[in-house]
Amino acid sequence: MKMPVAKCLVDSYELKANEDLGEGWFRLDIHAPEMASKIRAGQFVQVRVDAGDTLLIRRPFSVYDLNPAPGADATELSLLVQNVGPGTHAMQELRPGDPVDLMGPLGRPMPRPDLAADGVLFLVGGGIGVAPLYLYCRELVSEGSTLDHRVLLGARSSSLLIGLEAFEKLGTTTHCATDDGSDGYSGNVIDLLSSQLDGLDESTPVAGIGCGPHGMNQALLDLAIGRDLHFWISLENYMPCGFGACFGCVIPTPEGQEPRYRRVCVEGPCFPVNELPSRL
C-alpha cells in the first residue's frame, strides 16, 4: 500500500542485489520506480528493519545511486551502507527478492552553487558521506555539466577509501587523503582541501559541499568560516522520524538568527556554513 507522508512515499520494494564491498561496507540495489524517479542528490530514505524479534525504528540512509540514470526515468535506487549496529547488520543479511520497506524521499537536495565558468566546486567526503556526493556527481555528469568539480575523499587508511573507483569511472577529478599515508595525500582530507585552495589563483571563485563524520564536518566548518568560503555541510544527526515531527534532530542556529533551532531532517540535511552553530 502506498501511503503519502508529508509528500513522501512509504512502500515495500524489492531488493535486486546486495553486494559485499568488504570492510563492513555493502551496496543494496532496490527496485523502486516511483520513489527513484523523484529523488535528488542529498535526499535520504528511512529504512524499516527487523533485527531478529525486534522491530527497530527506521534508519536514515542517503541515496547513493539511481539507475539507469538520475531523473524521471530512474527505476532503481542504491544505498551504500556501513554495518555498524543491529539495523545495518539486518540490512546486510537481506537477499535478492526480499522486501525493503522505505520512506522517502526525505530532506532537501544538495544545492547547486551559482559559480562563474572559471569557478571550482569542491566535494569533500569521508566515511558514509561519500554516498550523496556520488549521486551529486552522477547528476552533474548526466546533465552534461561543464562545471569544474573536484572530489576529495578522506579515510584513515587506503582499504577504507570507499567509492573511490566509482568516482574515477564517472570521469570526475578525484583526490584522496589517508591519515596513514597509504594512498594519496598523507594527512586528513581538510588539510588536502587547504593545500588545493592554496594552489588556486586568488581570484578563482570557489564553492563546496562537505559530507562526512562529525570531526571532518567540524574541521571543514572551521576552515570555511576562517577563510570565508562559500561552503555547505551535510549533517548526519540522529533522525528518529525523518519528516519533521519529533524534533529529535535539531541544531541551534548561530546567535541572532531566527528560528533558534532547525530540524536537520526537513530544513537540511545540508546547510550553508553561515547558518550552522560554531560547534556542531
Ligand X SMILES: Cc1cc2nc3c(=O)[nH]c(=O)nc-3n(C[C@H](O)[C@H](O)[C@H](O)COP(=O)(O)OP(=O)(O)OC[C@H]3O[C@@H](n4cnc5c(N)ncnc54)[C@H](O)[C@@H]3O)c2cc1C
Taking CB under 6 A as the criterion, which residues in 146-175 touch ligand X? none
Helix (H, G, I), strand (E, B) or coil at 221: helix
- Identified binder of ligand X from the candidate list 21, 54, 73, 85, rule CB under 6 A: 85
Sign of the Cα torsion 13, 74, 76, 121 reads negative
Pattern 205-244, binding to ligand X, x per CB under 6 A? -------------------------------xxxx-----
The answer for residues whose C-beta is within 8 angstroms of residue 265's C-beta and 6 or more apart is 60, 106, 107, 239, 241, 242, 243, 244, 249
Residue 224 interacts with, from ligand X, ligand FES, none (CB under 5-8 Å by kind): none
| Minimal distance, residue 118 CB to ligand X, in Å | 32
The answer for residues whose C-beta is within 8 angstroms of residue 225's C-beta and 6 or more apart is 273, 274, 278
* 115-to-86, 110, 142, 167 alpha-carbon distances in Å: 42, 15, 19, 22
Residue entry with cell 566546486: 121
Residue 248 interacts with, from ligand X, ligand FES, none (CB under 5-8 Å by kind): ligand FES
| Minimal distance, residue 172 CB to ligand X, in Å | 18
- What's the rounded Cα separation, in Å, for the pair 177 and 224? 19
- What's the rounded Cα separation, in Å, for the pair 111 and 99? 32
Residue 81 interacts with, from ligand X, ligand FES, none (CB under 5-8 Å by kind): ligand X
| Residue-by-residue DSSP string for 153-212 | EEESSGGG-TTHHHHHHHT-EEEEEETTSSSSEES-HHHHHHHHHHTS-TTS-EEEEEE-
Cα Rg of the chain, angstroms: 18
Residue number, 214 or 227, with CB nearest to ligand FES? 214
Residue number, 120 or 241, with CB nearest to ligand X? 241
| Minimal distance, residue 271 CB to ligand FES, in Å | 14
Residue number, 188 or 234, with CB nearest to ligand X? 234
Residue 80 interacts with, from ligand FES, ligand X, none (CB under 5-8 Å by kind): ligand X
Residue number, 85 or 99, with CB nearest to ligand X? 85
Residue number, 105 or 269, with CB nearest to ligand X? 269
Give the number of residues in contact with ligand X, rule: CB under 6 A.
21
- What's the rounded Cα separation, in Å, for the pair 208 and 241? 28
Residue number, 84 or 246, with CB nearest to ligand X? 84
- What's the rounded Cα separation, in Å, for the pair 59 and 239? 8
The footprint of ligand FES (CB under 6 A) covers: 239-242, 244-249, 263, 265
The answer for residues whose C-beta is within 8 angstroms of residue 206's C-beta and 6 or more apart is 119, 120, 121, 122, 197, 200, 229, 230
- Identified binder of ligand X from the candidate list 61, 122, 134, 271, rule CB under 6 A: 61
Amino acid at 229: L
Residue 247 is a binding residue for ligand X (CB under 6 A)? no
| Minimal distance, residue 44 CB to ligand FES, in Å | 11
Residue number, 63 or 264, with CB nearest to ligand FES? 264
- List residues near ligand X by CB under 6 A: 44, 56, 59-62, 80-82, 84-88, 128, 131, 236-239, 269
